[in-house]
């Protein structure tokens, strides 16, 4: 590994709560498509009961215990794929879940990928109502960019399987929105979700979340 790749990998070898907000505005590239990361969540391994790695390694979560900068992909509810960036040094589990992208290129590919398979009655649902829903959720962005379990373990620094995370020079938002993680039943008090409040491509929860966060404030 050259010095450039080593520097890129060290970015990920930290606490996912530090890495997550810094991933906002970086680009995920895969399958000839690219999108700007606009919503993320941190999962903190052995100290986080909501993390798949909380109870130690299993076959599914093995990638999270591997080297940083790789892709951890798992199947949610047996239906949807979810893509995470592995953080922390090798041997320590941690990850950032990619929850939403702003699509940048490869629109035709993404629209086609988000189309339900010809024979499927229910499985993948219906095509999105607009391009705003091409990648506005963790399962949706994987479907759009063709990320499957075959990409579990892919190196996002070297792009050995065609998937990379790159920067186009845009810094992360100075004041990202912060809120609780979505769809968990434990550790719900942790504010470990970050998103760009100005971007319309965030997930449904983040679109409604602005209202929730302000109405909850008693002052």
Q: Rounded to an integer, what is the distance from CA 90 to the centroid of its chain?
A: 20
CA dihedral 61→64→69→74, nearest 10 degrees, is 20
Q: Rounded distance, CA 179 to CA 194, Å?
A: 7
Q: How far is the CB of 171 from DNA (least distance, A)?
A: 25
For residues 13 and 5, give the distance between their C-alpha atoms in angstroms, rounded to a whole number.
Answer: 13
Judged by CB under 7 A, the residue of 32, 56, 89, 171 near DNA is 56
Binding mask 144-183 for DNA (x = CB under 7 A): -----x-------------------------------xxx
Number of Cβ atoms within 10 Å of the Cβ of 186: 11
Regarding beta strands 95-105 and 33-43, do their DSSP bridges make them parallel or antiparallel, or are they unpaired?
antiparallel
CB 100 within 8 A of CB 201: yes
Q: Please give the structure tokens belonging to residue 80.
A: 């949807």
Among 66, 67, 125, 172, binds DNA (CB under 7 A): 125
Q: How far is the CB of 185 from DNA (least distance, A)?
A: 3
Does 112 engage in binding with DNA (CB under 7 A)?
A: no
Least spacing, CB of residue 160 vs DNA, in Å: 21
- Please, what is the Cα angle at 171 between 6 and 217, to 5 degrees? 120
Q: Which of 9, 34, 51, 146 binds DNA (CB under 7 A)?
A: 51
60 touches DNA (CB under 7 A)? yes
Residues found near DNA in the complex (CB under 7 A): 41, 43, 50-53, 55-56, 58-61, 64, 72, 74-80, 82, 84, 95, 97, 114, 122-126, 128, 133, 137-140, 149, 181-186, 203, 208
């Amino acid at each position: 590994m050259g010095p450039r790749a080593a520097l890129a990998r060290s970015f990920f070898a930290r606490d996912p709560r530090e890495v997550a907000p810094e991933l906002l505005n970086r680009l995920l590239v895969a399958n000839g498509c690219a999108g700007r990361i606009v919503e993320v969540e941190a999962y903190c391994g052995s100290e986080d009961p909501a993390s798949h790695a909380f109870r130690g390694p299993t076959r599914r979560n093995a990638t999270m215990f591997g080297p940083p900068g790789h892709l951890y992909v798992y199947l949610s509810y047996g239906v949807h794929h979810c893509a995470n960036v592995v953080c922390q040094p090798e041997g320590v589990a941690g990850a950032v879940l990619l929850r939403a992208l702003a699509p940048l290129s490869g629109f035709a590919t993404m629209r086609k990928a988000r189309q339900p398979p010809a024979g499927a009655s229910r499985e993948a649902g219906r095509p999105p109502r607009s391009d705003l829903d091409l990648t506005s959720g963790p399962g949706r962005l994987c479907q759009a960019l063709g990320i499957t379990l075959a990409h579990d373990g892919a190196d996002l620094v070297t792009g050995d399987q065609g998937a990379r995370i790159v920067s186009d020079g845009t810094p992360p938002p100075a004041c990202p929105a912060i809120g609780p993680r979505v769809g968990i039943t434990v550790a719900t008090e942790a504010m470990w979700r970050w998103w760009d409040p100005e971007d319309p491509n965030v997930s449904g929860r983040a679109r409604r979340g602005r209202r929730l966060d302000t109405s909850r404030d008693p002052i």
